[in-house]
Each structure stands twice: as structure tokens, then as C-alpha cells.
Structure 1
Amino acid sequence: MKKLLVLGVGNTLMMDEGAGVHAINEFLKEKENYDETLVDFIDGGTFTQDIFFLFEKYEQLLVLDIVRAGHTPGTIYSLDEDDLVKNKKQMLSLHDVDLLDSLDMAQMRGHRPKLKVVGIEPDKINWGTEMTPVLVKAFPSFMKVAKKHIEALLK
């Protein structure tokens, strides 16, 4: 069992909705900086419950995605599973239900990894392959927070 799965989630055809996938693409460019026996980086796209079987192969799951919580676009969030369950207003993109259901399914099969989410508040979700200027500006901070969590989870 590997220590960590970093899963980027989102739709790169919907502007800011693709932030998690854009982050994974950046991590894949510097993949050699990470021990591949401990961590995997996967583009989850707009995953469905079909990938729940992946989760049972990891101790920890770090999801990179947008979070719509009504704050200023570009706001960065660090959330645990309890934060998602307790706060129904905290919408983890369009994938929150699938994510929590997928974790439940992995648990039914025998192993549920510990979940951490790094999210960013979107500015605009509409047709387009580029993130908005607001998110482009905030993206380095999003990556920095994700890197800190990866380092901490790999200890």
C-alpha cells in the first residue's frame, strides 16, 4: 500500500472548474522530486464513483479541487473529511457527493484512506479552457499549500 494519492479533480473545459487538474499537471512536470514508491499523482477529471477501487491502495488521499463556499475568488481552503460532512454549505465542486460515496465504497471493500482536501474558490465556471485571471494569480499559492500538505502527509 502506498502512502499517498494526490488526486486532481475538475473539468478543464469549464475555466476555473479545472484548477485541480491543472495542479496535477504541474505536479507531473516535477514528478521526479517525489518518491514514486510513496506517492502517485492522478488526474481524476470529473471522476465518478468508478474510481473508488483506487482509494483502497493508499493510506492517505489528498484531493485538489475547487471549493464553492461563498468567499472571495482565489481563497484557498484546507479541509478534512469532517469539514465536508459537517458543513453542507461547503460545496466541493460538483464532485463532493461522488468523492464521499467513493470513500464509503472503498471502506466497504476493506480500506478507506484518510482524506484531506486543498481547494480554491473559483471566480467563474463557464465554457473555456483557461482559468480566469483571478485564479491564475492565486494558483501559485494553491500549489504552495498543496506542496506543504504533500510534504506533511509523506512524513
Structure 2
Amino acid sequence: MKTLLVMGIGNILLRDEGVGVYCMQTLQKEEWPENVFFADGGTFTQDLFYLFEKYDHLLVLDAVRGGKEPGSMYRLEEKDLVHNKKQQVSLHDIDLLDSLRMAELLGSKPTLTVMGIEPQEIAWEMGMTPTLEKVFPDFVELTRREIHKILSTF
């Protein structure tokens, strides 16, 4: 049976930076098939390559700076992160790509999809900004649909 890891990335101490972790925590409380797993990837994703050997698909939830209005949502694949020079990639996305390369060298690299949302503010304070709180349910629903879409390809 193919497996999916849904990983929230970010720092919940830095306002909107924690949106990926909040989304993962919300979805984790729901009923999912036995081949769907959830993890909090924190901010240092370079050390997570050892986890990837267990999974066929990796769905990363993260704050993404793409130059649009705060609250704008993105669906990205690995090729979008590697080849799009205009995409501002956060530090953990760079670490994540390194981890995927290490997993590939070990012979087990999952397919990557990133669900991202444009942050309004990254500052030392817990909780999302009102802008992201307003669109957060939409982000969760969009991610939920993406999980079902991925599962339908297995």
C-alpha cells in the first residue's frame, strides 16, 4: 500500500510562519485512511531525510513568500521550487530540497507537493495574523482536497 506523509513546517512562535504546523494539527484530528501519516517538521527539515524512505508522497504545508497578497494560496511541486527563479523560497524549503536529494541518494525519494500560503507577518508572537486567521479554514479545505487527490492516484 502506498503511503502519504503530511508534514507541517514552520515555527509557531513567529506568527504566520507557523501556519503549516497549525494546518497539519487541524487535519491530524480528522479520520484518515491508515496510509496517511502526519508530522510536525519544525524548521530544520534537512535532518528529516531519514523519514522519507517510508513514504511514497510527501505533502508539505508551509508559509510561502511568492509575492502575492497575504493569504494567497499556492500549490507547488518540486520542479516549481527548483526551476522558478522568481519564487522566493524560505530557508526550510531549501533544506527540504536537500533532504529530498539525500533520500534519493539512499534510494527512496517521495513525490513532493507543497501547499503554501502567503504570510502577512513573521514576528516573535504566537498565533496567526487576523488576515491568515480569516482564510485559514479555506487553506485547510484546500489541503484536505489535495490529500484526497493524492490518495486517488495510489
Q: TM-score, normalised by structure 1?
A: 0.94
2:121 equivalent to 1:87: no
Q: Is the 8 A contact 1:65 1:92 kept in 2?
A: no
Q: Is the 8 A contact 1:84 1:90 kept in 2?
A: yes
1:34 counterpart residue number: 32
1:18 counterpart residue number: 18
Which of 133, 139, 142 is matched with 1:142 structurally? 139
SS of 1:104 mapped into structure 2: helix
CA distance in 2, matches of 1:48, 1:132: 24
1:102 counterpart residue number: 99
**C-alpha displacement at 1:69, in angstroms?**
1.0
Q: Residue 14 of structure 2 aligns to which amino acid in structure 1?
A: M
Note the alpha carbon deviations across 1:50-96, whole angstroms, 9 max, x for none. Answer: 11111111110100001101100000000111111111332343311
Structure 1 gaps of 5+ residues are: none
CA distance in 2, matches of 1:88, 1:142: 25
Note the alpha carbon deviations across 1:16-68, whole angstroms, 9 max, x for none. Answer: 000000011101222xx1012x1101011112311111111111010000110
CA distance in 2, matches of 1:19, 1:92: 16
Q: What value does the CA root-mean-square deviation take over the aligned residues?
A: 1.2
Question: Identity percentage over the alignment?
Answer: 56
Q: TM-score, normalised by structure 2?
A: 0.94
How many residues matched? 152
2:41 counterpart residue number: 44
Which of 61, 65, 71 is matched with 1:68 structurally? 65
Structure 2 gaps of 5+ residues are: none
Q: Is the 8 A contact 1:17 1:93 kept in 2?
A: no
**C-alpha displacement at 1:104, in angstroms?**
0.2
Q: Residue 10 of structure 2 aligns to which amino acid in structure 1?
A: G
